[in-house]
């Protein structure tokens, strides 16, 4: 686990990375949102008031080792979902902006379920706000659609979610680029950021090719279960890998690099303003 601090409204919120997910010290969050001189007591009162919160407290709060002035100690922590649930039970005016934001996010999610095109539009707007070019966004959005089609195939072919999806994705990446996604992130100096949001044009294109080829091979061979789909993933990734190597040999330039596309874009913009 890696201990770090998050800053909120000038207050330090201790957090720790546990099972690759950020967990936040509950007493710190409550202290930041209530200014209570006794946040631990505030939490007890809050649980007494909110019976449903008290019922689910065992699923929300997890004791994790956190660095304190007296050394490492076990403190109750919650992941992002748990923290949001706790915020809902805080009557403090400081919590109201978060509650309004959560209501807005929930409303937007309902809208997106009713009209999936809204989700695509909002994703595009988010990338635009981050400074990505329209050409890059088009490739990224197409890649999202290709990925969705592949995971839908896996879902319908007796492949378990999460861990098995990650293994199959790593199989494609290893065959396409010679590195797994985690190795690729290390190469680019990324931590928890989305790898594909930091890929350049060719990296996105070969990612799409590997996943699109895997989808086609999976359908053509009617792959069922994890083992057959892993074989299809390797073959699909190899299609992209062979194409990548041919391009690299012809152009004399490597596709896989430690370049961070978003950082490069922001640097170019800064140079343009100088």
Same domain, 66 and 194: no
- pLDDT, residue 1, reads 43
The residue that leads in pLDDT, 29 or 94, is 29
Is the predicted pLDDT of residue 84 greater than 50, yes or no? yes
Same domain, 252 and 152: yes
What is the domain extent for residue 179? 133-273
Q: How confident is residue 265, by pLDDT bands cut at 50, 70 and 90?
A: low
Q: How confident is residue 61, by pLDDT bands cut at 50, 70 and 90?
A: very high
Decide if 114 is inside a domain. no
Q: Taking each helix axis from N to C terminus, what angle separates 26-34 and 39-49, rounded to the nearest 10 degrees?
A: 90
Decide if 128 is inside a domain. no
Rounded to 5 degrees, what angle do the CA atoms 211, 216, 222 make? 120
- Backbone dihedral angles phi then psi of residue 75, each to the nearest 5 degrees: -125, 145
Decide if 119 is inside a domain. no
Same domain, 73 and 204: no
The residue that leads in pLDDT, 263 or 269, is 263
Same domain, 88 and 172: no
Q: Can you give the chain as a three-state secondary structure string?
A: CEEEEEEECCEEEEEEEECCEEEEEHHHHHHHHHCCCCHHHHHHHHHHHCHHHHHCHHHHCEEEEEEECCEEEEEEEECHHHHHHHHHCCCCHHHHHHHHHHHHHHHHHHHHHHCHHHHHHHHHHHHHHHCCCHHHHHHHHHHHHHHHHHHHHHHCCCCCCCHHHHHHHHHHHHHHHCCCHHHHHHHCCCCCCCHHHHCCHHHHHHHHHHHHHHHHHHHHCCCCHHHHHHHHHHHHHHHHHHHHHHHHHHHCCCCCCCCCHHHHHHHHHHHHHC
Written as six digits, the tokens of 233 are: 């993933």
Same domain, 191 and 258: yes
CATH at 45? 3.10.260
Same domain, 60 and 183: no
Cα(128)–Cα(134) distance, rounded to whole angstroms?
8
Same domain, 241 and 186: yes
Q: Which range (18-22, 248-252, 256-260) has the least confidence? A: 18-22
Decide if 178 is inside a domain. yes
- pLDDT, residue 2, reads 45
Same domain, 139 and 260: yes
Q: Taking each helix axis from N to C terminus, what angle separates 201-220 and 134-155, rounded to the nearest 10 degrees?
A: 20
Q: How confident is residue 264, by pLDDT bands cut at 50, 70 and 90?
A: low
Q: Which of 92, 124, 142 is the last residue of a domain?
A: 92
Decide if 250 is inside a domain. yes
Cα(51)–Cα(214) distance, rounded to whole angstroms?
49
- Nearest by Cα to 29 from 1, 66, 55, 71: 66
Q: What is the mean pLDDT of residues 53-70?
A: 91
Q: What is the mean pLDDT of residues 172-191?
A: 94
Same domain, 76 and 175: no
Q: How confident is residue 210, by pLDDT bands cut at 50, 70 and 90?
A: very high
The residue that leads in pLDDT, 258 or 175, is 175
Is the predicted pLDDT of residue 47 greater than 60, yes or no? yes
Same domain, 75 and 145: no
Q: How many CA atoms lie within 13 A of 168 on its CB side?
A: 30
Same domain, 181 and 242: yes
Number of domains into which the chain is organized: 2
Decide if 220 is inside a domain. yes
Decide if 112 is inside a domain. no
Same domain, 174 and 71: no
Q: How many CA atoms lie within 13 A of 80 on its CB side?
A: 7
Distance of CA 207 to the CA centre of its chain: 17
């Amino acid at each position: 686990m890696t201990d770090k601090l998050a800053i909120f409204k000038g207050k330090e919120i201790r957090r720790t990375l546990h099972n690759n997910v950020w967990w936040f010290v509950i007493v710190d969050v409550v202290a930041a949102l209530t200014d209570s001189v006794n946040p631990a007591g505030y939490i007890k009162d809050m649980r007494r008031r909110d019976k449903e919160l008290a019922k689910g407290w065992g699923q929300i709060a997890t004791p994790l080792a956190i660095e304190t002035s007296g050394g490492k100690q076990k403190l109750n922590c919650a992941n992002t979902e748990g923290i949001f649930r706790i915020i809902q039970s805080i009557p403090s005016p400081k919590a109201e902006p978060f509650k309004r934001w959560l209501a807005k996010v929930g409303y937007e999610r309902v809208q997106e379920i009713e009209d999936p095109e809204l989700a695509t539009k909002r994703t595009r707007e988010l990338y635009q706000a981050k400074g990505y070019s329209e050409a890059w966004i088009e490739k990224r959005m197409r890649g999202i659609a290709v990925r969705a089609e592949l995971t839908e195939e896996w879902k319908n072919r007796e492949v378990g979610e999460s861990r098995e999806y990650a293994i199959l994705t790593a199989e494609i990446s290893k065959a396409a680029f010679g590195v797994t996604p985690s190795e690729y992130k290390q190469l680019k100096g990324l931590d928890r950021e989305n790898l594909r949001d930091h890929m350049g044009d060719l990296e996105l294109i070969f990612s799409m090719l590997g996943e699109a080829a895997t989808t086609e091979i999976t359908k053509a061979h009617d792959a069922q279960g994890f083992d057959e789909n892993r074989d299809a993933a390797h073959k699909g990734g190899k299609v992209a890998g062979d194409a990548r190597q041919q391009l690299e040999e012809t152009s004399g330039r490597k596709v896989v690099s430690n370049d961070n596309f978003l950082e490069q874009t922001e640097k170019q913009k800064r140079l343009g303003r100088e």
